[in-house]
């Protein structure tokens, strides 16, 4: 019972504050306030939509692609230069590899963290591929990675 009375009191206080704001700023001010709230919610929706797209890109990455980026981050030369990789950079790395696998090209190059990553398609079948990953600064020493491409081609 006390909670119900407390909720009613809080609602009445909020209504009184809303009426006071309406009297203070008038009809035009209230319309502007509502418009500003709608615009802010729209911007928040767009930001959350982009964030969920980034997360879905990361979820698409299968274990093989995650293994490539982990090898890159754990390489000795990568740590010698004291480079750090944030989530956006990881997603960009994964996205570039996925786009390469989707494109069905034989080779591709992309810039990443002051480095140049070269991807070469060695073997490709319907469900799997083998790619050769090399970096300009030889962080990965031209390693071959088998990847399943059935999940990526969707």
The residues near 104 (Cβ < 8 Å, ≥ 6 apart) are 121, 124
Q: What does the domain layout of the chain look like in residue ranges? A: 1-60, 62-148
pLDDT per residue as tens digits for the range 70-114: 777 776 666 555 566 666 777 787 788 888 877 778 888 887 777
pTM summary value? 0.49
> Please, are residues 67 and 145 in contact by the beta-carbon 8 Å criterion?
yes
The residues near 54 (Cβ < 8 Å, ≥ 6 apart) are 87, 88, 91
SS3 147: strand
> Please, are residues 68 and 105 in contact by the beta-carbon 8 Å criterion?
no
pLDDT at 154: 47
Q: Specify the CATH architecture of the domain 62-148.
A: Roll (3.10)
């Amino acid at each position: 019972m006390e909670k119900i009375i407390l909720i009613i009191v809080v609602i009445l206080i909020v209504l009184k504050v809303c009426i006071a704001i309406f009297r203070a700023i008038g009809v035009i001010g209230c319309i502007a306030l509502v418009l500003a709230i709608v615009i802010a919610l729209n911007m928040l929706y767009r930001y959350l939509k982009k964030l969920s797209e980034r997360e879905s890109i990361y979820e698409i990455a299968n274990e093989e692609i995650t293994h490539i980026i982990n090898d890159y981050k754990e390489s000795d030369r990568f740590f010698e230069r004291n480079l750090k990789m944030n989530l956006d950079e990881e997603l960009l790395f994964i996205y570039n590899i996925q786009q390469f696998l989707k494109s069905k090209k034989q080779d591709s190059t992309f810039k990443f963290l002051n480095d140049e990553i070269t991807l070469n398609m060695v073997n490709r079948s319907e469900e799997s591929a083998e790619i050769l990953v090399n970096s300009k600064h030889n962080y990965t020493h031209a390693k071959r990675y088998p990847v399943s491409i059935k999940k990526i081609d969707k």
